[in-house]
A and B are shown apart, each in its own frame.
Chain A
Amino acid sequence: KAGVTQTPRYLIKTRGQQVTLSCSPISGHRSVSWYQQTPGQGLQFLFEYFSETQRNKGNFPGRFSGRQFSNSRSEMNVSTLELGDSALYLCASSPLSYNEQFFGPGTRLTVL
């Protein structure tokens, strides 16, 4: 079974721009979660989608948004990028709620 894939793997943007990251979960997995990883902060939960509905949301500003499509693929969008948004963005999928999650390799976003 193919693992979780994330595209692109690396991205460089400038302040004020917007960015869209993509995540394809493992086939059959309906839950997709997004995390931001920065040095010293560990993984911070952004949001979780289950069957195209946002079910949980972390404590991030409204500039961070996401969606899930009927095939469970998910995208997250960050608008008006700030320097502090530079991070590794990880996507994780699981077959049901309340399960261990399978992570993708992440997208490394650098904001200049």
Chain B
Amino acid sequence: DQQVKQNSPSLSVQEGRISILNCDYTNSMFDYFLWYKKYPAEGPTFLISISSIKDKNEDGRFTVFLNKSAKHLSLHIVPSQPGDSAVYFCAASANTGNQFYFGTGTSLTVIP
């Protein structure tokens, strides 16, 4: 049973525009969320996180929004750059150590 879902397998965006990647979860006990970026032949790289006590966290061009009532989080990348082209995974944890549940990923392509 997939507790974290990324329903869009792929997304294409023009360079300079906003990329919005979405993630839904089913477990109301999740209270810590992360986004990772993955290039081919490499392991995922941590991007940004958010805890359930916040609804927004920013780091440069990356902003994560959390809507607890909807069990939904999103990653905004502004402005998008060709180097952002990668697979993005969201992950969630319920404060049980490092047991994270990952989504299936969204492949982002930023078109120059």
Chain A interface (Cβ < 8 Å from any Cβ of B): 4, 31, 33, 35, 40-45, 48, 50, 55-56, 58, 90, 92, 94, 97-106
Contact = CB atoms under 8 A, between A and B. Distances in A.
Nearest to A45: B99
Interface of B: 2, 4, 6, 32, 34, 36, 41-46, 49, 89, 91, 93, 95-105
A44 B96 CA distance: 16
Contacts, number: 67
B45 A98 contact: no
28 contacts: A31-B97, A31-B98, A33-B98, A33-B99, A33-B100, A35-B102, A42-B2, A42-B4, A42-B6, A42-B103, A42-B104, A45-B101, A48-B97, A50-B97, A56-B96, A56-B97, A56-B99, A90-B43, A92-B43, A97-B97, A98-B95, A98-B97, A101-B98, A101-B100, A102-B46, A103-B44, A105-B42, A106-B43
A56 B104 contact: no
B6 to A, nearest CB: 8
A25 to B, nearest CB: 12
User: Which one of A33, A55, A98 has the greatest number of beta carbons of chain B within 10 Å?
Assistant: A98
B97 to A, nearest CB: 5
Contacts of A101: 46, 98, 100
A7 to B, nearest CB: 14
